[in-house]
């Protein structure tokens, strides 16, 4: 049975504070029989008619998304850069966020073939996918959308093979355990050869083990810098496994688009100027900085 997800999410980056307007952003656990494949469903609804658009930027996770939005239904593979979206006018989106590896049983192809790509749902799932697109975008209520998507996913008869649970667990462990700083740390902990690990990640996750580790260490960096406290960047770089501060700054700027110092300043400015969020509609950009994901 689908139920609301309440644990703190991660990944939304600091952006300029837009004129406040309630924006719905909620996540839901899937039914138990789909939990090995689906991390959660997310729903975003917005209305910015008559006011300036709001830019949302997300530091992506090693997950595939299947997004239903009028005129833009798509499957989004693991994106190595940050994702940016301008919310303007009014609209809504419903998405399936698959577990790391959870999309493979549906795609029946290496998930790396979807990396850094967006493809139309019907290109992967044929006429049934096209029918699903039309029905999902025509529905406005949550319950029918949950019923439609779960019926479709079950109809594909996905199977949990011998590798899927272990791969998902490895990725979630990297996200939680900040002592995992190198691929060799995974090799030692799980007793899997480095080349085997790389092949499994390409097949199931769509990103290399090294990329997954670096991505979650950047998540931590963004969270700490966005918290509004002064952060010693040299110490932070060492804590996250970088050889020196310069290496950390280059990586951060290449992905986020600005230096850690500039990002920290933007976070402080955003926190100082943003109004309180309406808890019924989720946090605004400043309150959610570094904490939300889609």
Closest C-alpha among 191, 193, 171 to residue 180: 171
pLDDT level of residue 267 (50, 70, 90 thresholds): confident
Model pLDDT for residues 81-136, shown as the tens digit of each residue: 999 989 999 999 999 999 999 999 999 899 999 999 999 999 999 999 999 999 99
Contact 167, 160 (CB under 8 A): no
Q: In this model, does residue 280 exceed pLDDT 90?
A: no
**pLDDT for the residue numbered 290:** 33
Domain parsing of the chain, residue ranges: 3-160, 164-273
> What is the C-alpha radius of gyration for the chain, rounded to an integer number of angstroms?
19
What's the token pair of residue 103? 């999309």
Residue 275 is predicted with a pLDDT of 54
Q: What would the CATH number be for the domain defined by 164-273?
A: 1.10.10.60
Q: If you average pLDDT over every residue of the chain, what do you get? A: 89
Least confident of 126-140, 199-213, 231-245: 231-245
Give the model's pLDDT for residue 288.
Answer: 34
CA distance 153 to 137: 17
3-state secondary structure the chain: CCEECCCCCCCECCCCCCCCCCCEEEEEECCHHHCCCEEEEEEEEEEECCCCCEEEEECCCCCCEEEECCCCCEEECCCCCCEEEEECEEEEEEEEEECCCCCHHHHCCCHHHHCCCEECHHHHHHHHHHHHHHHHHHCCCHHHHHHHHHHHHHHCCCCCCCCHHHHHHHHHHHHHCCCCCCHHHHHHHHCCCHHHHHHHHHHHHCCCHHHHHHHHHHHHHHHHHHCCCCCCHHHHHHHCCCCCHHHHHHHHHHHHCCCHHHHHHHHHHHHHHCCCCCHHHCCCCCCCCCCCCC
Residue 19 pLDDT? 66
Is pLDDT above 60 for 283?
A: no
Per-residue confidence (pLDDT) for residue 289, from 0 to 100 = 32
pLDDT of residue 279: 37
pLDDT exceeds 70 at position 49: yes
Q: Which residue has the tokens 């996913």?
A: 153
């Amino acid at each position: 049975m689908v139920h609301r997800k309440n644990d703190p999410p991660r990944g939304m980056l600091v952006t300029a504070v837009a004129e406040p307007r309630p924006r719905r952003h909620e996540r839901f656990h899937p039914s138990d029989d789909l939990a090995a494949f689906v991390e959660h469903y997310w729903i975003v609804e917005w209305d910015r008619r008559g006011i300036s658009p709001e830019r949302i930027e997300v530091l992506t996770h090693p997950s595939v998304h299947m997004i239903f939005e009028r005129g833009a239904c798509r499957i989004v593979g693991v994106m190595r850069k940050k994702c940016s979206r301008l919310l303007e006018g009014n609209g809504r989106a419903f998405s399936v966020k698959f577990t790391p590896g959870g999309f493979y049983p549906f795609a029946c192809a290496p998930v790396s073939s979807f990396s850094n790509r967006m493809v139309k749902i019907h290109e992967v799932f044929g006429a049934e996918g096209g029918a699903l697109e039309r029905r999902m975008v025509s529905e406005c209520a949550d319950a029918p959308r949950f019923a439609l998507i779960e019926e479709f996913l079950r109809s594909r008869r996905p199977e949990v093979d011998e590798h899927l649970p272990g791969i998902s667990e490895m990725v979630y462990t990297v996200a939680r355990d900040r002592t995992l700083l190198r691929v060799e740390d995974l090799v030692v902990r799980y007793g899997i050869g480095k080349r085997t690990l790389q092949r499994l990640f390409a097949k199931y996750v769509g990103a290399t083990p090294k990329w997954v580790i670096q991505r979650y260490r950047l998540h931590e960096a963004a969270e700490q810098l966005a918290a509004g406290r002064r952060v010693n960047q040299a110490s932070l770089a060492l804590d996250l496994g970088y050889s020196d501060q310069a290496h950390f700054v280059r990586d951060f700027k290449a992905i986020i688009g600005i230096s850690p110092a500039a990002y920290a300043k933007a976070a402080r400015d955003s926190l100082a100027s943003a109004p309180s969020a309406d808890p019924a509609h989720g946090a605004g950009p400043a309150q959610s900085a570094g904490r939300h994901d889609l």
